[in-house]
Amino acid sequence: MADLGLMHVYTGEGKGKTTAAFGLALRAWGRGLRVCVIQFMKSGEDYGEVVAARKLKGLDLFQFGTGKWVEKGKHTPEDERLAKLALAKAKETLTSGRYDMVILDEVNVATYFGLLSPSEVLEVVRSRNKVEVILTGRKAPEEFIREADLVTEMRALKHPYDSGVGARPGVEY
């Protein structure tokens, strides 16, 4: 098995951060790696990637969200509590020895919204031992970008939403 343990950041205002992370998860799973996805501020089975992940034995997925939209500056104590639980789950998965890859989906947004601090997330990320870790979401803090081995910024050049096309199952969710 290749040397694992790098840190990836997928950020930017464009579409595809979670999709790219799930694509990497599928690639890793296909090669026999043990994968865990932890979703911050998300819950429910309405996302196509969640439906697919639940069908793959050996790809674990945990969600920590209320099911309600979270807005910057308007989060609730429950949003904060769930973000802290997600971070605790991240620490457990990154240090357990059970996983080769851990995806922290929307953790960048959780820090931007003030649910978690970048330093506490980095402390958890640094605790890993030979585990590939992927942090997704808009507004990645500079601390994450500096520390990461790979940073990809998604940039929206054009989107059907701008022409009035709504989110479509299987494409946007």
Least confident of 34-38, 60-64, 154-158, 161-165: 161-165
Q: Is residue 167 part of a domain?
A: no
Q: Is residue 40 part of a domain?
A: yes
The pTM for the full model equals 0.93
Tens-place pLDDT, residues 24-43:
999 999 999 999 999 999 98
Which residues, listed in sequence order, are joined to residue 59 by a DSSP beta bridge?
35
pLDDT tops 70 at residue 1: no
Using CA atoms, how far residue 123 sits from 85, 117, 162, in Å, is 15, 10, 39
Closest CA to 108 of 56, 158, 40: 40
Residues 6+ apart with CB under 8 A from 16: 10, 154
Collapsed DSSP state (helix, strand, coil) of residue 53: helix
The range of the structural domain enclosing residue 44 comes to 7-155
Closest CA to 52 of 68, 30, 69: 30
Q: Is residue 95 part of a domain?
A: yes
- CATH of residue 129's domain is 3.40.50.300
Q: Is residue 166 part of a domain?
A: no
Collapsed DSSP state (helix, strand, coil) of residue 41: coil
